[in-house]
Structure 1
């Protein structure tokens, strides 16, 4: 069974980005506040790029018995640079559009489908709800990083 806190976060957690960055201009969003670390824009690009990866993983879990996934790394994903080239506004639109897909995919699954598992190299076998929790916690980590960067700029 899906907990209401998970469904609420899945539906709305990504919406925190806009109020966090609302006072910033594009130069500030693109700024590398900490040398060698991502800008706010790159964090947002990563969140946007990872959502299709997550959708693909859930679909594979539904189609295959215990598929094994590699640990995802943006630096090893050629698509990450492509996403970085989008404007922040375009990325936020992509996040919202893909989030709707994720929300509908996960929340409409029957309990037996939610129990299907896929293996992560670090966390082992996770069912779809655990993958979703992992996805949301990962996103929250980046939201916090964006919040910290915003307050380093202002």
Structure 2
């Protein structure tokens, strides 16, 4: 069990899509939520930046504890999310790029035994680190689609 090719490729490149999605988009459009109480495109990017740190912490917890159980992450309830929401696009992209390198290095350096370690997700149950990585990348893809919708005026 190792990082399979499609997962490895998406970990290395999927986050780079953000810059392409928002190229040429005004800051006003980036920061304007579709409706009051909903996240703007920039809020979604801030969430991705914050969640990478959450994910890395969870991977270390799975590696260091026996079958840790995690609560569902909710950015709106995370006091550490607020500083990310006040950052500009360039700052967020820098954090995402740097933290992605950390994630890739961490996951790529794990043995088959380590990739098989389990953490419990509140909705999806017992997931290996490999499945957590897939969940992470699919979660990111969901937010990329949301950003696409927001900046193209379809949401």
- Matches of 1:141 and 1:48 in 2, distance apart? 14
- Matches of 2:132 and 2:81 in 1, distance apart? 21
Question: 1:33 matched to which residue of 2?
Answer: 34
Q: CA deviation at 1:134?
A: 0.4
- Matches of 2:46 and 2:26 in 1, distance apart? 17
Q: Which runs of 5+ in 2 are unaligned?
A: none
Q: CA deviation at 1:5?
A: 0.2
- Matches of 1:99 and 1:130 in 2, distance apart? 17
Secondary structure of residue in 2 paired with 1:126? strand
- Matches of 1:36 and 1:121 in 2, distance apart? 25
Q: Which runs of 5+ in 1 are unaligned?
A: none
Deviations 1:19-65 (A, max 9, x none): 11001121111011233311001000000001110000000100111
Question: 1:107 matched to which residue of 2?
Answer: 108
- Matches of 2:37 and 2:128 in 1, distance apart? 35
Question: 1:58 matched to which residue of 2?
Answer: 59
- Matches of 1:32 and 1:103 in 2, distance apart? 31
TM-score, with normalisation over the residues of structure 1?
0.96
Question: 1:42 matched to which residue of 2?
Answer: 43
C-alpha RMSD of the superposition: 1.0
Secondary structure of residue in 1 paired with 2:87? coil
- Matches of 1:116 and 1:138 in 2, distance apart? 20
Deviations 1:97-150 (A, max 9, x none): 000000000011111110000001111110001000000000000000000111
Question: 1:152 matched to which residue of 2?
Answer: 153
- Matches of 1:143 and 1:63 in 2, distance apart? 31
Question: 2:79 matched to which residue of 1?
Answer: 78
- Matches of 1:34 and 1:151 in 2, distance apart? 15
- Matches of 2:120 and 2:63 in 1, distance apart? 13
